[in-house]
Structure 1
Amino acid sequence: MLVGLIIACEVGFWVLLAGGLALRYLAGMPRLGAAVLLMEPLLELVLLVVSFIDLKNGGEPSWRHGLAAFYIGYTVGYGHYTVKWLDGHAAHRFAGGPKPPGTKYGKERAVHEWKLWTRTLAAALVAIGLLQAGIWYVGDDAATGGLQAWQAGALRVLGIQALIAASYSIWPRKAPAGTDADRDGAAEPAGPKR
């Protein structure tokens, strides 16, 4: 049941996002579109409540609870960033807004990567905190080993993101020869993955 709910929350995230952007830019109803976009955190709240209910009802702490904690952590760390990124592209494409900035180079890109690291830090802290709450709630050291493994996984993800950010600081990415990255916006960034 919990895995199905995680999938439903993920699908719901994208449905609410597409619906909110469509209302804002295609239907010309920016307030209603914003209201739809603001409903997205409710999905994570439902997932959190169901995860704890599952544990309370005797559910064995497992990878499903770890995945739910990671999903909620990701949404806290990257949810607003994802919505803002897609909103900027929708505004450009459908409402004549300015073109979103392209890939950054040099020091600007390194700063961008460290900002992403801080988002990953927030996501990891939320996931680790939720997992720790689950560990305290269950209270059985033998049954919570899987949740502790997910906590270690969150730290590994944070470490990998730090290495990526450090690589851009140590070996800054240079703009392609013959282009002015600041003038023409360069290539589109790949954007956040969800």
Structure 2
Amino acid sequence: MLIAVIAGCEIGFWVVLAAGLAARYPLRMRRTGAALLLCVPLVDVVLLTATVIDLRGGAAAGFRHGLAAAYIGYSVAFGHRMIRWADERFAHRFAGGPPPRGRPAHGRARTRHEWREFAKAVIATALACGILLLLIALADDPDRTRELTGWTARLGVILAIWSLWPITYTLAPAKPKKRPAQRPTGGPPPR
């Protein structure tokens, strides 16, 4: 049941986000759009509530509870970026806004971008681990929550793998691609 709630929350995130942006731009209902966008974090509250109810109801902690904690942590840490990403595209498409910004392709800007994303992953991992500890405390039964302690190690492995990107871009920053030299126009080709 909890896996279905997690899937429903992911779908709900995108539905509420799309509804808020549709109200804001194509329908020109700015206040309604803003109100809907403010409801996006409620999806995480629904998932956290469902997870706590499941554990407090006597369910043994399993993969689904750890996944819910990880989903909430990453959703909180990266949710604002996802909303901004979608907002830029809607504004460009429906309100004549500037073209969406992409991530930097190379150089120091790309390295800073990768470190900022890694910092968000650290925050997401810390939030997820905090939620796991909260769930363990609420269940108050070490036998039922053993699976949740294993999730902290999984999240640590994910964070360690994620750290490879900013480290790689720091040690060997991407360079701009060289463009082929252009021939002068108007004369015969060089021999």
TM-score of the pair, normalised by structure 2: 0.89
Say which SS state the counterpart of residue 178 (structure 2) adopts. coil
Displacement after TM superposition at 1:34 (Å): 1.4
In structure 1, distance between residues paired with 2:151 and 2:135: 12
Point out the structure with max Rg over C-alpha: 2
TM-score of the pair, normalised by structure 1: 0.87
Q: Which residue of 2 aligns with 1:107?
A: 108
In structure 2, distance between residues paired with 1:111 and 1:36: 32
Q: Which residue of 1 aligns with 2:27?
A: 27
Task: Note the alpha carbon deviations across 1:70-92, whole angstroms, 9 max, x for none.
Answer: 11001111001100011112111
Q: Which residue of 1 aligns with 2:75?
A: 75
Structure 2 unmatched ranges of 5 or more: 181-191
Amino acid at match of 1:87: D
In structure 2, distance between residues paired with 1:70 and 1:63: 11
Q: Which residue of 2 aligns with 1:170?
A: 171
Give the total of aligned pairs: 179
In structure 2, distance between residues paired with 1:102 and 1:141: 46
Instruction: State how 1:1-194 maps to structure 2 within 5 Å.
Output: 1-104=1-104, 105-178=106-179
Amino acid at match of 2:141: D
Amino acid at match of 2:28: G
Say which SS state the counterpart of residue 22 (structure 1) adopts. helix
In structure 2, distance between residues paired with 1:103 and 1:130: 30
In structure 1, distance between residues paired with 2:15 and 2:157: 31
Structure 1 unmatched ranges of 5 or more: 180-194
Displacement after TM superposition at 1:143 (Å): 2.7
Amino acid at match of 2:126: L
In structure 2, distance between residues paired with 1:152 and 1:101: 35
Task: Note the alpha carbon deviations across 1:8-40, whole angstroms, 9 max, x for none.
Answer: 111111101111111111111122111111101
Displacement after TM superposition at 1:136 (Å): 2.1
Identity across the alignment (%): 44
Amino acid at match of 1:77: A
Displacement after TM superposition at 1:168 (Å): 1.0
In structure 1, distance between residues paired with 2:159 and 2:115: 11
Task: Note the alpha carbon deviations across 1:91-150, whole angstroms, 9 max, x for none.
Answer: 112211111223411110010011001111111011101111112222333332211111
Displacement after TM superposition at 1:2 (Å): 1.0
In structure 2, distance between residues paired with 1:54 and 1:62: 11
Q: Which residue of 2 aligns with 1:187?
A: none
CA RMSD of aligned residues (A): 1.4
Task: Note the alpha carbon deviations across 1:44-81, whole angstroms, 9 max, x for none.
Answer: 11111111111111011111100110110011110011
- Asked if structure 1 preserves the Cα contact closer than 8 Å seen for 2:88 and 2:100, the reply is yes
In structure 2, distance between residues paired with 1:26 and 1:153: 42
Amino acid at match of 2:8: A
Q: Which moved more, 1:130-139 or 1:59-68?
A: 130-139
- Asked if structure 1 preserves the Cα contact closer than 8 Å seen for 2:108 and 2:173, the reply is yes
Structure 1 runs of 4+ aligned residues shifted over 6 Å read none
In structure 1, distance between residues paired with 2:143 and 2:79: 34
